[in-house]
Amino acid sequence: MIVAVMIGTQTVTGQSPAGTEADELAKLKKQIAELAEKVRILEQKHELEVKEKETKSPATAELDQKIKILERNAELDKEAAAEKSKQTPKVSLDSNGLAVSSADTNFVFKLRGGFQVDGRFYPGDSLAKDTFLLRRVRPIMEGTVFEKFDYRVMLDFASGLSSSTFNNANLVDAYINYRFLPELQLQIGKFKEPVGLERLQSWNNLLFIERGLPTFLVPNRDTGIQLQGDIGSGLFQYAVGAFNGTADGGSSDFDTDSDKDVAARIFTHPFKHSGIDALKGLGLGVSGTYGQHEGSLRNYLTLGQQQFFTWFTGAGTNAATRNVAADGTVWRISPQVYYYWGPFGLFGEYVISSHQVTRTAGATPTHATLKNSAWQVAASWFLTGEENSYGRVQPKQNFNPANGGWGAWELAARVGALNIDDDAFPLFADPNRSASGIFSWGVGLNWRLNRNVKLSLSYEHTDVDGAAGNSAPFKENHVIFTRAQFAF
């Protein structure tokens, strides 16, 4: 039975071993076909997936492009803004005043200025009157054009200024300076002659409320042309110029004669680049003027601004109306020095002012060469530790009690003298109305609340020399000065 079944089965299936192989082959072929079908289905599926992925990419790519475009446009806008800012004028308002400059800084305009409200008090029996006054009221316009041409105009509307034919007292400075190089500059206009050390110091940086006695013998502002320069970044400075020529302490913007004065100054900071800190602040130099003058001479004042010496002035027709005037060579020489180290400052100068003068009292004039001289030594100390300087000093901490800031406090002291040539008496000046010299000493206290506001208090004592010491028309020996200053 079993054999029959097996024989039957073999008959149905192939019946022989050769039939089994065929079956196997057919089976394999079937499996291959099935596998092939599976692969085809998988490939189709994969293709669909790829296509699906590809149809999503354009949207992503589009988004990517939009982001990149936004970023690039932002970048270009930033570049354009930076480019534009290079051409935009700059405006600033700070403790240095108002400044407007072109983007390339070739054109600059600054508005600055300040004023000083003083008090002068004369204790004791003095002919001088106690007073408050507006000592200086100065608007300043300065700037630069075409990179190298600097200009400055400074006016003054202070109390008691009086102009004359020869000087507009309200026009203090008006000049232009061409900076070809820092070492070579040309200045033309009305400005300070390069002579007095304290005169050259800016009006808002003074140690005492009034400049010292040597300043009375040197020119103030004059009109002319000057070559100047700074060599070695402050190592050596020079100035040489030709000016109208002015009386001692005077200013001029119109000449009384055709002669011109030459003024020159050299100043050095010999240790500026030495590396020796203690000596870097040493500066010394010499200045002078030479010219021919004709015309009125300057009378001399004390530090309290009281006249102590006056020349004879009159019609000159006889002895009673004798007149003294400049008539010939005027020369001045002034060695000068300063030293600053840390909070300590010291400066001094000596001036000789020589004038050829003529006394006219009738038919026969009298000539003489008279040399007046003055000197001063002044010292100061910043109690609050600021770096002392010939220029403006910035408080370490501005006055602001809430933050513990008390500004900058400075103690100052000075001595000085002004001597009149003995030969001035009695022909050229009245010994009963003029002193032959004065000696002064003073102490002061400066309080810089910030860069722009300063309060000052000082006391000056003056002793008078000469035969007229007790009978001179003034009796000033003591004066107390006060000052409230605003400058920017």
Partner 1 sequence: MKTKTIRRQFLLVLLALGCGALPSLLWAKDLKLLNVSYDPTRELYVEFNAAFAKHWLIKTGDKVSVQQSHGGSSKQARAVIDGLQADVVTLALAYDVESIAERSKLLPVDWQPRLPNNSSPYTSTILFLVRKGNPKGIKEWDDLVKPGVRVITPNPKTSGSARWNYLGAWGFEYLRTGKDEAKAKDFLKQLYKNVPVLDTGARGATTTFVERGIGDVLINWENEILLGAKERGAGKFELIVPSTSILCEPTVSLVDKNARRHGTEAAAKAYLDYLYSPEGQEIAAKHYFRPQNKEVLTKYAKQFPDMKLFTLAEIVGDWQKTQKTHFNDGGIFDQIVQK
Residues of the shown chain interacting with partner 1 in the complex, contacts defined by CB under 8 A: 65, 68-69, 71-73, 76, 79-80
Q: Judged by CB, which is closer to partner 1: 42, or 80?
A: 80
Q: Judged by CB, which is closer to partner 1: 79, or 423?
A: 79
Residue 61 CB, nearest distance to partner 1 (Å)? 10
Which residues, 6 or more positions from 199, have their beta carbon under 8 angstroms from its beta carbon? 192, 211, 215, 218, 219, 220
Query: Measured between alpha carbons, how far is 400 from 439 in angstroms, rounded to an integer?
Result: 40
Residue 273 CB, nearest distance to partner 1 (Å)? 30
What residues form DSSP beta bridges with 445? Answer: 411, 457
What DSSP state is assigned to residue 101? E
Q: Judged by CB, which is closer to partner 1: 106, or 471?
A: 106
Would you give the distance in Å from CA 318 to the centre of its chain?
A: 53
Residue 180 CB, nearest distance to partner 1 (Å)? 15
Residue 262 CB, nearest distance to partner 1 (Å)? 35
Residue 142 CB, nearest distance to partner 1 (Å)? 24
R_g of the chain computed on alpha carbons: 45
Q: Judged by CB, which is closer to partner 1: 89, or 270?
A: 89
Q: Judged by CB, which is closer to partner 1: 62, or 257?
A: 62
Query: Measured between alpha carbons, how far is 375 from 303 in angstroms, rounded to an integer?
Result: 13
Determine if the peptide bond prior to 194 is cis (ω within 30°). Answer: no
Q: Judged by CB, which is closer to partner 1: 24, or 64?
A: 64
Tokens of 300: 């001399």
Label the pairing between strands 282-295 and 300-301.
unpaired
Q: Judged by CB, which is closer to partner 1: 86, or 129?
A: 86
Residue 76 CB, nearest distance to partner 1 (Å)? 6
Residue 291 CB, nearest distance to partner 1 (Å)? 40
Q: Judged by CB, which is closer to partner 1: 65, or 105?
A: 65
Task: Cite the beta strand spans of 122-206 per DSSP E.
Answer: 131-145, 149-155, 171-181, 184-192
3-state secondary structure of 252: coil
Residue 68 CB, nearest distance to partner 1 (Å)? 5
Q: What are phi and psi of 273, to 5 degrees?
A: -110, 20
Query: Measured between alpha carbons, how far is 92 from 367 in angstroms, rounded to an integer?
Result: 58
Would you give the distance in Å from CA 104 to the centre of its chain?
A: 20
Tokens of 325: 């005037």
Query: Measured between alpha carbons, how far is 107 from 84 in angstroms, rounded to an integer?
Result: 17
